[in-house]
Amino acid sequence: MASVPAAASVWPRARRIAWDLTPAVLFLVALLVGWEIWVRARDVPGYLMPPPSDLWQAFLDQRGTLPGHTRTTLTEATLGLFFAAVLGVVLAALIASVPFARRVLYPLLVVSQNIPVLVLAPLLAVWFGFGMTPKVLIVVLIGFFPIAVNTADGLLRADREMVDLVRSMGASRWQVLRTVLIPSAVPSFFAGLQIGAAYAVIGAVIAEWMGASSGLGLFITRSQRAFRTDQIFMAVVLIALISIAFFVAVQLIARFVMPYRHVTNSTN
């Protein structure tokens, strides 16, 4: 009998999510239909602007090669996002806990974001070869900044009165970090991680343009050389879907880690 209330609480949430997504889905459907009608009515050549129906056919034609390219890009994006999270948390801890490190590192973090990734990608390929390492590094360089900045902001915004109270009770620095600072920074960390996740796949694809043996970036480059615009658009749609999946996965992890931020009043 305990499963009945649980199911009853899940269905309203599912209906609410479906209702929230309905406008975006309807807009996307209208956009695709308008795209198809416009291309067909204007008789636009397929190599300039393929209709959405051709994208599905391109996917079916390449379904044998796409899984390998997709797996490579997913691996690069996942590893890069993981190391970006580790680097971002370490830098955030230094910025929040050491004032001198804050004065040294924070300006350098801002400056690092003004260096175009397309400039660094060829250099990383020369230094580390055309394997997975330079691709992962590009994802790390793109993703660590929002994680570091948001996490540092969460640590610095912790309730100082609570920190003083815990210290007055004899807590060590590690106990203060574990009981006050980390819980305060977790929401900010996931906010930064969501931003990093949204750009992780794009970073991997950009890195693959500079040289790769597999990946969706390589697939797009080969499609460009073959003037297969339908395959390019299909790959772009696939990259967008994977990026959305990364973003949603981080949201789900955040809900699991912070269930108290998503509590709804089901008694009304």
- In this prediction the pTM is 0.81
Between 130 and 153, where is the model more confident?
153
CA angle 19, 20, 25 (to 5 degrees): 85
Which residues have C-beta within 8 Å of that of residue 250, sequence separation ≥ 6?
190, 193, 194, 197
Predicted confidence (pLDDT) per residue in 217-253, tens digit: 889 988 888 888 888 889 998 999 999 899 889 888 8
DSSP-based three-state secondary structure for 70: helix
Over residues 158-201, the pLDDT tens digits come to 777 777 777 777 766 677 777 777 778 888 899 899 999 988 99
Q: What digits encode the pLDDT tens for the residues 37-59?
A: 888 887 777 777 888 888 888 88
If you count them, how many residues does the chain have? Answer: 268
* Long-range contacts, 179-182 (Cβ 8 Å, 24+): 181/96, 181/155
Neighbours of 184 (CB within 10 A): 17
